[in-house]
Structure 1
Amino acid sequence: MDLAPAGPPGSPPKQSRAGRDLTRAIPVGVFLGAVVAISVAWNSRLWYVVAAVAVSLALWEVFKRLRQAKFRLPFIPLLVASQAMIWLAWPLGATGAFAAFAVSVVVILVWRLFIRGLHEPPKNYLRDVSASIFVLAWIAIPGACGAMLVNGEHGGKYVVTLIALVVCSDVGGYAAGVLFGKHPMAPAISPKKSWEGFAGSMVFGVAGGVLVFWLLLEENLWIGGLLGVATVLAASLGDLVESQVKRDLGIKDMGTLLPGHGGLMDRLDSVLPAAVMAWVFVHYLI
């Protein structure tokens, strides 16, 4: 880890070998962790509010980037759809989220078809509809899965488990990548990700899963280790997916909302697919 002091006033922020400005990234990460902790400790249903806001902001970031790339997505239907998927998951669970997604797909198909009126054919219809449904599948569906983690007696603990395992994966991968990273994992997609970093993520993720299940959930430790493996795989692949999307769009970050991190979507890229894994484990294995 590069802990060299910052340069003189006016110089660019000092970054680590992994490309992060740690003096900004760490306080922002602590703040985000505090938001999660307060939401689940005070009233676990506040997690739905946090999830809804996060999905909305991430959706807006991605929408702006796609609009810059000349995609024409129907933002209002996408926003309403994402919120419907999350809030219907509160009383109806997965059934409500799926129903909202299914209806939203039909609405997007029709909306984009007639956005230019009845006398002018739509342009790039297939491309824009596909991108719209991709955005819902990429952001809103995992967001609903993450929100549904609190639908139960120990819901707050499951949310803490999700965040803790993603942090373990991120910290382990970052440390191992900076200290030992030599062999690129997917150089054509994300040159900075290494197999050594992935191994570090796996070690920290499995250890974190076992510890969390032992100390917090008091469940079978092997399930915790298995969830750690699933979290690391999902988080790593989610990071690669976003890297490829950004490569297609020719951008470095999705946004600038979080100093030292980029946009909110640059933080959620690993959390969202990990939330799907966590929901599957909670729903079927725990």
Structure 2
Amino acid sequence: MAGASSRRAHRAQQAQHAQRGSGSPAPSRAGRNLRAAIAVGVGLGIVLVAALLLWKPAFVVIATLAACLGGWELLGALRAGRIVPPTVPTMMGALALVPVAYLAGPQGLAVGYGLCVLAVLLWRALDGLAGAITDIAGGVFVLSYVPLLAALSSLMLLPEDGPQRVLVFLITTVASDVGGYAVGVLVGRHPLAPSISPKKSWEGLAGSVVTCAVAGTLSVVLLLDGRWWAGALLGLAVAAAATVGDLAESTLKRDLGIKDMGSLLPGHGGVMDRLDSLLVAVPVSWALLSWLVPA
């Protein structure tokens, strides 16, 4: 075991030296290719804002694509842990739930989700009993974690000021990631959850809370004509939800023995590595905006 660990460490060191020698940008202190991460983040932001402001259904298409890609990555990660949910009904749910929520509202989403869960159960049951409970639970987990939560963004989009509501949610959640990352890299000293995510710090969490509160206040006042304290409360709640989402995915990856959910987004990892905080922040933002800033 010690010899294998030593060989792995030696290979990692060689790869690091090769990367530096090739002239490719070294990762930042927080472990990211910062230049690529910023370019991808800005590009995705421009696409999302354009979709929201120009044609609401375009955002539904983008959210559906994200749910499908994220669901596919999560299925692959579970298979690495020897959990094999049925692919067809799970991916059909990822494809259907976001547009169903937009077209049929909360009741349609509830019915659609129930039918997807039933399809996963029946599909896997027909494949034999060995390991069926684990595989069915995995399929329901993927449906619940990715397309169901992503579909709540469609519900947020339904009111007349829906695009502004989704923008508030996106701005506030992104502020959590950016604030936590910047403060954590600059002054982070005290680990927040070292056994789950060693690079996260209490200082970074404080940065997330402050930037979320500021972003929530400004976006709610300027985009929704809401009260400042409603935006501040939204920011605090989103900071907590985004942090929980990030740590939850880190726990899942550690348990499955993987570093990233995928490699589609340079500087970020996989689609799920960007959706982790957004997915958990969606229900919080939808509920609080519906309550504090009624349409």
Q: Do Structure 1 and Structure 2 share a fold, with TM-score over 0.5?
A: yes
Match of 2:190 in 1: 183
Q: Show CA shifts across 1:98-139 (max 9, x none).
A: 111111111211111112xxxxx4221111111111111111
Taking structure 1 as the reference length, the TM-score comes to 0.92
Moved more, 64-73 or 238-247: 64-73
Aligned partner of residue 14 in structure 1, secondary structure? coil
1:12 is displaced (CA, Å) by 5.3
Match of 2:43 in 1: 31
Match of 1:223 in 2: 230
Return the alpha-carbon distance in structure 2 between the equivalents of residues 23 and 176 of structure 1: 17
Residue among 107, 112, 117 paired with 1:105: 117
Return the alpha-carbon distance in structure 1 between the equivalents of residues 158 and 21 of structure 2: 49
Classify 1:106/1:181 alpha carbon distance in 2 versus 1 (closer, same or farther; 3 Å): same
| 2:157 paired with 1:150 | yes
Q: Give the counterpart letter for 1:263 in structure 2.
A: G
Give the number of the structure whose residues are more often helix, by fraction. 2
| 2:184 paired with 1:173 | no
Match of 1:75 in 2: 87
**Unmatched 5+ stretches in structure 2:** 1-18
Q: Show CA shifts across 1:66-109 (max 9, x none).
A: 22332211111011122322122112211111111111111211
Return the alpha-carbon distance in structure 2 between the equivalents of residues 91 and 260 of structure 1: 35
Match of 1:242 in 2: 249
Contact 2:84 2:138 (8 Å CA) reproduced = no
Contact 1:45 1:150 (8 Å CA) reproduced = no
Q: Give the counterpart letter for 1:137 in structure 2.
A: S
Match of 2:66 in 1: 54
Aligned partner of residue 185 in structure 1, secondary structure? strand
What is the number of equivalent residue pairs in this alignment?
A: 275
Match of 1:45 in 2: 57
1:182 is displaced (CA, Å) by 1.2
Residue among 67, 75, 84 paired with 1:63: 75
Q: Show CA shifts across 1:206-236 (max 9, x none).
A: 0111111122211111111111011111110
Structure 1 vs Structure 2 CA RMSD: 1.4
Aligned partner of residue 199 in structure 2, secondary structure? strand
Match of 1:280 in 2: 287
Match of 2:7 in 1: none
Q: Show CA shifts across 1:163-185 (max 9, x none).
A: 11112111110111111211111
Contact 1:85 1:140 (8 Å CA) reproduced = yes
Sequence identity percentage: 42
Taking structure 2 as the reference length, the TM-score comes to 0.90
Contact 1:44 1:150 (8 Å CA) reproduced = yes
Classify 1:242/1:258 alpha carbon distance in 2 versus 1 (closer, same or farther; 3 Å): same
Contact 2:268 2:274 (8 Å CA) reproduced = yes
Aligned partner of residue 270 in structure 2, secondary structure? coil
Match of 1:3 in 2: none
Return the alpha-carbon distance in structure 1 between the equivalents of residues 181 and 258 of structure 2: 22
Q: Show CA shifts across 1:24-68 (max 9, x none).
A: 111000111011011011112211111101100111111122223
Q: Show CA shifts across 1:134-160 (max 9, x none).
A: 111111111001122210111111111
Return the alpha-carbon distance in structure 1 between the equivalents of residues 91 and 82 of structure 2: 19
